[in-house]
A and B are shown apart, each in its own frame.
Chain A
Amino acid sequence: MSQSSVLSSLSKINEKYLMFRTVTSQTDAGDAKFLFSAKDNLTSKDMETCSGSRILEGYRPPFDATSIAKMREAGGLLIGKTNMDEFGFGTFSTNSAFGVPRNPYDLERSCGGSSGGAACAAAVMEGHVAIGVSTGGSICCPASFCGVYGIVPTYGRVSRYGLLDYGNSLDKIGIISSNASDLGKYVAIMAGADPKDPTSCVQPAIGSRRKLKSVAVPVDATEGVSEDVKKAFKDGLEGLKSMGVDVQKVEMSTLKYAIPAYYVIATSEASTNLARYCGMRYGHQDGDLSLKFDDYFTSFRSQYFGEEAKRRILLGTFTRMVGFRDRYYSKARNVRQSIIEEYRSVLSGCDAVLTPTMPFVSPKFSDISKMTPVESYKADILTGPPNIAGMPHASVPCGYDRDGMPIGMQFVANHWDEGVLFSAAEEWEKNFDAVRPEVSI
């Protein structure tokens, strides 16, 4: 699609897929070198920023997130803010306060989450590059469900200034696109030390691209995974072998602790990050000021936070409490270290660890509504490990199920080694026959 056709059909497209929360009113691309969208938890000066939550309805930030500013500086035109689970809490984008984005391959299925809108935009508008954010799997999950390429750089590679925090030691800003070459191109633009985010100030330069030569597959990578995903993953392995990549099996005993540890750390941090949303200073400020402050804050927060947000706040408040902090918060942090060490050890002997991205294809909305919280948390079983370890990782489409729903596989490289992921995705794309979704508006 040409830039101008994208701009002129934006609202129509959005009506059908609900992938945007806000779209630009610009109809002319002007001097723009490329068009991009940003997940709605990144601050944009000219567009409302809500992070999928009613509590921030109407909020106009006074500054651009560094990642958005850098894309703009490089000639990009921000065409809209993409729809997402409230504050990043979710795997299916069903927890958004502003409508749920629909999968372009099947409108009754989820786009994945929490960057569901971003992946949908990337799939529907070819050539469109979407900025996404991953905490426990929120880039690769939707990328896998929407049949596109997604990359999560190393934690600390892209400045988080302007990112509405979910988990400060877990959030990473990355790219989703239907073109594999966009991954390396745009991560390079957004990367770099930013004094406004100290965690971005210890990165070495992005390593030069190097050819993917070997991958290690954990022995239980396909345990509990659906038959269609198993088959597509097997095809993926065959594809890699024919590209000359060596495939090994490896034991990784710490990975099973990743999801519990991730949820403990993430909700602990999130419950503190969300404390500031209390009806003062930004977003809705329409509480009853005659209430005493405790009651004011409580009534306001209870009114505007969604269900999943409340659940995670409660969980994360509990894990920090006196008497429980050691068993949960401190222990989870300790477990994270052991996962990192295991990855490092495995990656000293190969270029990347490889698994399917998700344990199933995108579920139908009717099935999602029947899932218990634990069941939906377990959907992150494969994306969780690299996320908690801060390892750079990328999802590439590797097959489709019998209904034509996309399936992805996920490469995990060592800290700071994005170069091998960029080239792996680009090489893979050359040999993979992607099936694009039918887009009719």
Chain B
Amino acid sequence: MDRETVEKVARSAHLKLTEEELERFSRDLGDILGYFTILDEAPDCEGFGIDPIGVADVLRDDEPRIELEPDAMLEGMDTYDNYVRGPRLL
């Protein structure tokens, strides 16, 4: 796969690659996609499933419920004043 595409994909995936990684992955991905070309000749099939077993119409009632104490979940997080801290926006 060409370098430019790998860089574009990496940006989209929020990965920063070293020079060495860029070269290595370009090669690897090129090989892998080459292997994938066999898919182009696979015959088409009626419809496509989202999963192998046909999961359909699984719904739950609109009943509000708190099952786990929110504090238990916030415990492992970087918080401030009960807000979860994250990187800056601007």
Contacts and interface: CB of A to CB of B under 8 A. Distances in A.
Nearest to A316: B13
30 contacts: A62-B75, A169-B50, A169-B51, A199-B55, A202-B55, A257-B38, A257-B42, A292-B87, A292-B88, A292-B89, A292-B90, A295-B87, A296-B87, A298-B16, A310-B15, A311-B28, A314-B6, A328-B36, A328-B39, A334-B42, A337-B45, A337-B46, A337-B49, A338-B42, A340-B49, A372-B31, A373-B28, A373-B31, A377-B32, A390-B53
A374 B84 contact: no
Interface in B38-90: 38-40, 42-56, 58, 60, 68, 72-73, 75-78, 84-90
Interface string A253-270: 010110011011000000
Interface in A109-128: none
Contacts of B53: 154-156, 199, 202-203, 390, 415
A390 B28 contact: no
A314 B9 contact: yes
A70 to B, nearest CB: 17
B6 A285 contact: no
A299 B29 contact: no
B51 A282 contact: no
A340 to B, nearest CB: 6
Interface residue tally on B, bucketed by range = 35 or more
B88 A293 contact: yes
A293 B89 contact: yes
Contact of B14 (A202, A294, A311, A341): A294
B15 A260 contact: no
Contacts of B25: 310-311, 314
A313 interface: yes
Given A298-B16, A314-B15, 9 more contacts: A62-B72, A280-B87, A282-B76, A289-B86, A295-B87, A314-B29, A318-B9, A337-B47, A340-B52
A254 B87 contact: no
A333 interface: yes
A60 interface: yes
B87 A287 contact: yes
Centre residue among B46, B52, B72 by max chain A CB count within 10 A: B52
B17 A302 contact: yes
A168 B33 CA distance: 22
A278 interface: yes
Contacts of A203: 53
A278 B14 CA distance: 9
Interface in A197-240: 198-199, 201-203
A156 B87 contact: no
